[in-house]
Amino acid sequence: MNTIMSLFLWVSYGVSLAIGVILATIAHIAGYRKDPFKVRPNRYFMALGYNFVRFNPFWEKNFLGLDKVDPDTPTIFVGNHQSFMDMPLLAGLPFDMKWVSKIELFKVPVVGWLLKMGGHIGVKRGNKEAIKSLEKIKPYLDERIPVMIFPEGTRSRKGELKKFKNGAFIVAKKHNYLIQPIVIHGTYDILPPGDWRVKWKGKFFISILDPIIPSHFETMEQLRDHTCDSFKSEINRLKVLTHSN
């Protein structure tokens, strides 16, 4: 049963992405000069991306802490990365943001085109190169367009929180941009890395925590570790909620 339903879900999502390419291309061309940050194409991209989650009514989707987001303050969102499903689920958030991804993804057909047309940000991997290229996020943040970074750097293969890399916290400390955790829980259980078959029933959480002010910490390391600790505490809380009725 899961195999059949998974096939249906992936085919439906593929059709949505094809439509997304067409709509994003039209919006990109129409607003090329007036929309330098590609806000309009990205809205189509996010709406259609969320279809992967929207198409299954048996998944319980919980968005917590939406009122904690201040759209008028430059913010770096940081999120844990459990599964492919993290991105479609994040696409359901009711505000625009740009994702920071490894530059290799921008070379992948369809996915790369959508990322480029949506104005998302590609960075090089490797400590020095990644930190240097992360300065690309500054023009977006200065225009009050938030960005989303996965500080683990890649998906967790076991569903556990990985060690945070420094890049997001170095940039936040340097420019005093807010750091705001977005904690994702439940996606690993539904679609773990390395598998394409989804569990047809499950419960997802996206929990937005209070923003963290970098100037309140003496060092970048203190900022990074405090943020990581906040993720661990919230993940433990969400585990309890997942198994409650």
130: closest CA among 153, 112, 106? Answer: 153
pLDDT category at 139 given cuts 50, 70, 90 is very high
Query: In the chain, what percentage of residues exceed pLDDT 90?
Result: 46
Q: Across the chain, what does the average pLDDT equal?
A: 88
Beta-carbon contacts of residue 144 (< 8 Å; ≥ 6 apart): 71, 72, 73, 74
Average pLDDT over residues 60-81: 95
Q: Which amino acid is at 169?
A: F
Q: Using DSSP, how many helices (H) and how many strands (E) does the chain show?
A: 10, 7
| Greatest mean pLDDT range, 3-12, 113-122, 153-162, 164-173 | 164-173
Residue 26 CA, chain-centre distance (Å), reads 24
pLDDT given at position 200: 85
Report CA-CA distances (Å) from 125 to 28, 46, 48. Answer: 28, 25, 28
Of 132-136, 176-180, 187-191, which range is least confident?
Answer: 132-136
pLDDT category at 150 given cuts 50, 70, 90 is very high
Global pTM exceeds 0.75: yes
Beta-carbon contacts of residue 96 (< 8 Å; ≥ 6 apart): 39, 42, 43, 46, 145, 146
pLDDT category at 134 given cuts 50, 70, 90 is confident
Of 74-83, 151-160, 234-243, which range is least confident?
Answer: 151-160
pLDDT given at position 208: 98
pLDDT given at position 97: 92
pLDDT tens for residues 85-127? 999 999 999 888 999 988 888 888 877 877 888 889 998 876 6
Radius of gyration of the chain (CA): 18
Does pLDDT of 235 surpass 80? Answer: yes
Report CA-CA distances (Å) from 66 to 95, 184, 195, 234. Answer: 10, 14, 31, 15
238: closest CA among 101, 90, 62? Answer: 62
Does pLDDT of 62 surpass 90? Answer: yes
pLDDT given at position 33: 67
pLDDT given at position 245: 58
